[in-house]
Amino acid sequence: MEDIIKVEGVAKAYGKHQVLENLDIAIKKGECFTLLGPSGCGKTVLIRLIAGHEVPDAGRISIDNTVVADAQSGEYIPPERRGLGIVFQDYAVWPHMTVYENIAYPLKMEKRPKEEIDQLVMKMIEVVGMKGLENRLPSELSGGQQQRVALGRALVADPNVMLLDEPLSNLDANLREEMRFEIKALQRKFGITVLFVTHDQEVALAISDRLAIMDAKGHIRQIGDPYEIFEKPADLFVFKFMGIANFMHVTQRGNDFVVGNGSQVVPWDKPTGTAASWVAGFRPSDIEIHRQGPGLKGTIHRANFLGATMDYAINIDGESVRTELETHTAINNDLMFKEGEECYITFKALHWFDAEQLKEVEE
């Protein structure tokens, strides 16, 4: 598939604060591409650069094979001529306009005939599930309804590309889940390219064809499909960012690797490559817990009943590990542990990282 948005070597600083530097991203036509990263890492800045509300200090941005910003030549195409539908993070809708007027706005700007506007707006009101509320003002709508109006306004002019900066942040968990499926469905239905920004790992995995994981310095650590990002993390930062993670320090003793400072030899494939010391990374769902060995022996130092799951913190030779077990599975298999009891753990999956990487994310 051909690239529709190309960001090449882009840099942006505010005063002495270098937010983005030498950033490259290419988004393919028709895909849903998500930017995921910690607060303040530069996601909104990147969206604003692509939208044309900021100009890059260096580098070049093209949309649909047209250069829209080029720091070197000074080329710059204003936002309204970039053919983008945008939902910004900081404001959703215009407070003084009704639902109808908000959604009609981009079409009025394009000076489309009144009848055509009416037809398109009414159709979009239906698509975003706002029928019957078209004459309300935003103050008479819930946060979630306002975000739907914003989505409708972004979609109505039939853009090829949509930039959505945290469009679901005001929604409660249920509505957020519903809307993420709706966005995905709209994207498929209209064949739109979507650049989506979120904090929410679960939303990102559910909605994306590909994701980019950014670190706090605005560097891209990995680009891949949801499976690659979750199962084949490029480094410890990506692994940690994508969900609850356990890290177990592992020490080399001769040919063996032992857990922490104890004497239990790790039973898995040894790390390959060179590092002064290693950590093993795994998620709560990567572990199985047993009453008897084989496996690494530990002690339950905290047992929490969370309803559907049991949450155990296990101490293994000074290393703390969290695991999660379905309550029914625990009951049916005599795995309702009490604090202080002995247990054994085995692993379904595990990743090796250089221990230096752990220091870096813990800074």
Ligand X SMILES: Nc1ncnc2c1ncn2[C@@H]1O[C@H](COP(=O)(O)OP(=O)(O)OP(=O)(O)O)[C@@H](O)[C@H]1O
Contacts with Mg ion, residue ranges (CB under 5 A) = 43-44, 89
**For residues 44 and 145, which CB has a smaller minimum distance to ligand X in the complex?**
44
Residues 143 to 202 in contact with ligand X, rule: CB under 6 A: 199
**For residues 40 and 95, which CB has a smaller minimum distance to ligand X in the complex?**
40
**For residues 43 and 60, which CB has a smaller minimum distance to Mg ion in the complex?**
43
* 255 contact choice in ligand X, Mg ion, none (CB below 5 to 8 Å, kind-dependent): none
CB of 66 to ligand X, least distance (A): 24
**For residues 54 and 101, which CB has a smaller minimum distance to ligand X in the complex?**
54
Tell me how far apart the alpha carbons of residues 118 and 104 are, in angstroms, rounded to a whole number.
Answer: 8
**For residues 199 and 348, which CB has a smaller minimum distance to ligand X in the complex?**
199
- Position 40 contacts ligand X (CB under 6 A): yes
- Position 211 contacts ligand X (CB under 6 A): no
- Position 59 contacts ligand X (CB under 6 A): no
**For residues 43 and 351, which CB has a smaller minimum distance to Mg ion in the complex?**
43
Tokens in use for 312? 């155990």
* 188 contact choice in Mg ion, ligand X, none (CB below 5 to 8 Å, kind-dependent): none
Member of 23, 36, 44, 179 binding ligand X (CB under 6 A)? 44
**For residues 69 and 128, which CB has a smaller minimum distance to ligand X in the complex?**
69
Contact 35, 65 (CB under 8 A): no
Tell me how far apart the alpha carbons of residues 77 and 339 are, in angstroms, rounded to a whole number.
Answer: 64
Tell me how far apart the alpha carbons of residues 97 and 109 are, in angstroms, rounded to a whole number.
Answer: 15
Determine whether 241 is exposed, middle or buried from the number of CB atoms within 10 Å of its CB (0-12, 13-18, 19+). Answer: buried
CB of 282 to Mg ion, least distance (A): 31
Half-sphere exposure in the Cβ direction for 223 (13 Å, CA): 12
List strands edge to edge, sheet with 278-282: 256-259, 246-253, 278-282, 351-354
Interface segment toward ligand X; rule CB under 6 A; list 33-41, 137-145, 183-191, 245-253: 33-41
Using DSSP, state whether 241 is helix, strand or coil.
Answer: helix
Using DSSP, state whether 309 is helix, strand or coil.
Answer: strand
| DSSP bridge pairs for 211 | 34, 224
Nearest to 6 by CA among 78, 64, 57, 83: 64
- Position 41 contacts ligand X (CB under 6 A): yes
- Position 56 contacts ligand X (CB under 6 A): no
Tokens in use for 175? 């509505």
CB of 45 to ligand X, least distance (A): 4
- Position 16 contacts ligand X (CB under 6 A): no
Q: Give the N- to C-terminal CA distance of the chain in Å, as an integer.
A: 40
Strands 161-165 and 246-253, bridge-based pairing: unpaired
CB of 204 to Mg ion, least distance (A): 14
* 242 contact choice in Mg ion, ligand X, none (CB below 5 to 8 Å, kind-dependent): none
Per the listing, tokens 């799951």 go with 309
Tell me how far apart the alpha carbons of residues 1 and 294 are, in angstroms, rounded to a whole number.
Answer: 49
What amino acid is encoded at 325 in this protein?
L
Tokens in use for 320? 């703390």
**For residues 221 and 351, which CB has a smaller minimum distance to ligand X in the complex?**
221
Tell me how far apart the alpha carbons of residues 116 and 120 are, in angstroms, rounded to a whole number.
Answer: 6
- Position 91 contacts ligand X (CB under 6 A): no
- Position 42 contacts ligand X (CB under 6 A): yes
- Position 25 contacts ligand X (CB under 6 A): no
- Position 13 contacts ligand X (CB under 6 A): no
- Position 45 contacts ligand X (CB under 6 A): yes
CB of 220 to ligand X, least distance (A): 13
Binding site for ligand X (CB under 6 A): 14, 19, 37, 39-45, 89, 199
